[in-house]
Amino acid sequence: MASMVPYDHYNRMLRRAWPFDTMEELFQSPFSSLASAPDGFKMNVEDTDGAYVVTAELPGVKRDQIDVELNEGRLSISVQKQESEEEKAKNYLHKETTEWSATRGIYLKDAAVEGLTAKLADGMLTVNVPKQEPKSNVTKVSVE
Q: Break the chain into its structural domains and give their ranges.
A: 36-130
Alpha helix ranges (H) inside 18-107: 21-28, 32-35, 85-89
At residue 22, the pLDDT reads 55
Whole-number pLDDT of residue 34: 43
Supply the pLDDT for residue 38: 46
| CATH number of this structure's domain 36-130, picked from the four choices 1.25.40.10, 2.60.40.790, 1.10.1760.20, 3.40.190.10 | 2.60.40.790
Quick: pLDDT tens for 40-78: 899 999 999 899 999 999 998 999 999 999 999 999 999
Compute how many other C-beta atoms are within 10 angstroms of the C-beta atom of residue 52: 19
Strands across the sheet with 74-81, in order?
66-71, 74-81, 100-107
- Binning pLDDT at 50, 70 and 90, where does residue 94 land? confident
- pTM score, two decimals? 0.65
